[in-house]
Structure 1
């Protein structure tokens, strides 16, 4: 083969962009009313997000570029996608404008959480609940939305939004 080979330091970014790809698909599937598939795509984003950092550390190619790219992708996959999905599935019908504001607050708190994470460089713990957990948890809840009371969803969004920007210390697992 005469094509150029991928550089080793680019491999983690492939997983990071996979995260974004699945987050983007989640938004598209939400727009098409395929809510379980959209939730599944968010969960695939969780898988991709868990792999990019592990691969970067294993290959010793961690970089500031990778950290920034990861945060940009995470805000889509775990902030915007679950917020839009939750709004479309439940909040629009039950809360209207207020549901839209709550969903937007969730996405915005996720963005703030990621920006704070990028400048603090804390290695022993997370400050606030990671957006990956918050978005993944909302996707899991959506998978069971028909068997749960609708009020759980705005409460979960509000609590998780607060926890993302809180100063609670969350241990880093699996490092």
Structure 2
């Protein structure tokens, strides 16, 4: 992980900053409000924050795990990185942490991504995700389409060792 940021459990007091980032990054796609983040944390879902050296939140990600082996599944709920921090490995670090958690549960991981978000699609593919389907008009109110993507469960040691993807994302 970069010395410029650290990952830690997302804190309740970060919900307002998360909502602000949502409005900046996903303005046309019904960005989550502060209460949604608080609800996700209260439900016990796995949320991480990426924090700069001064403790400022520069990104966040969340994973929901449901079911039990052999029917357990993990769903990447969200990944977002402040525009000023994009391209510096924050998204990659957050995704790897989520995948390690999914693999700890022996869970395949699933997500939705806008079809025009080439950077995110490349990141997900570099980490073993494949396109499974298309959801037309998935994002509201923009009406943008989404790919559904999935990745089989893996041994969590492979995720921690970084054996799934290249550099540069």
TM-score (norm 2): 0.30
Which has the bigger relative contact order, CA under 8 A and spacing at least 6?
Answer: 1
TM-score (norm 1): 0.30
The structure with the greater share of residues assigned to helix is 1
The structure with the greater share of residues assigned to strand is 2
Greater Rg by CA? 1
